[in-house]
Amino acid sequence: MRIVNLNFAYGDNKIFEDLNLDMPTGGVTCIMGGSGAGKTTLLNCISRQLQYDGNIVYDKEEASFAYVFQQPRLIPSITVEDNIKFVLPSTLDKEQVGQRVGDIIDKLQINECRKSYPKNISGGQAGRVALARALVTDCDILLLDEPFKGLDVKLKKDILNLLIPLIEQKSVVFVTHDVEEALAIADRVYVFERKENASVTVKGQIDIEQNQVDRDIYGEELNQKRKEIYELLS
């Protein structure tokens, strides 16, 4: 996926001016930067929720999207299982729906809460349900807007370990403030900066070549990447 000369403003408040990004096909691009640096706005442009000038070139002509927000946004009046079913097209028959939902529930290890209502599950479970609801559609492009915000370190690590095998061949754009999350999952990291009354600039791009499945985020190579990211964020 490529962002080509993207321009967007909220009224007179210009966010992007001729922004260009190259995002690896079938890979994970992390977007980092301070508050107000246009990270969520970029996701909303990619998912066509905002009208912009310029061009976004998708990996497929008819690309499908799934979006996971900072809050799980589960429907409180229906069970976990029905929250996941809710996004599936009506063209699927009962057996197809059951197979898809059961498969993603197993892979994200939320079988124990599938019949529970959202108010009765933990934050970590709710995060996995939100991911399940996004991934059950077999989307081409997965947009993640700080989906693990507020979770403790162990929960984040556990969910990332479950997520990584499920996103192979998908193009993922992952907004995060957490350097450790980026190091665990990214193929490419962009650091955004936006100064007052100015449009977004890209402070730097960092590529990570290690495979996510057996990546050593505390090894020498990624410790150097960690240092580079923190320098760009400072």
In tens, the pLDDT along 27-54 reads 999 999 998 999 999 999 999 999 999 9
Domain boundary among 138, 165, 182: 138
Averaged over 212-222, what is the pLDDT?
92
Asked if residue 82 and residue 23 are part of one domain, the reply reads no
Residue 172: which domain range? 2-64+139-233
Helix (H/G/I), strand (E/B), else coil: 207: strand
Confidence of residue 168 (pLDDT cuts 50, 70, 90): confident
In tens, the pLDDT along 48-101 reads 999 999 999 998 888 999 999 988 999 999 999 999 999 999 999 999 999 999
Contact 200, 193 (CB under 8 A): yes
- The pTM score is 0.93
Asked if residue 193 and residue 178 are part of one domain, the reply reads yes
Asked if residue 162 and residue 217 are part of one domain, the reply reads yes
Total domain count for the chain?
2
Domain boundary among 94, 115, 138: 138
| Residue 174 counted as domain residue | yes
Asked if residue 80 and residue 54 are part of one domain, the reply reads no
Confidence of residue 129 (pLDDT cuts 50, 70, 90): very high
| Residue 69 counted as domain residue | no
Averaged over 222-226, what is the pLDDT?
97
Q: What is the torsional sign of CA 34, 179, 155, 168? A: positive
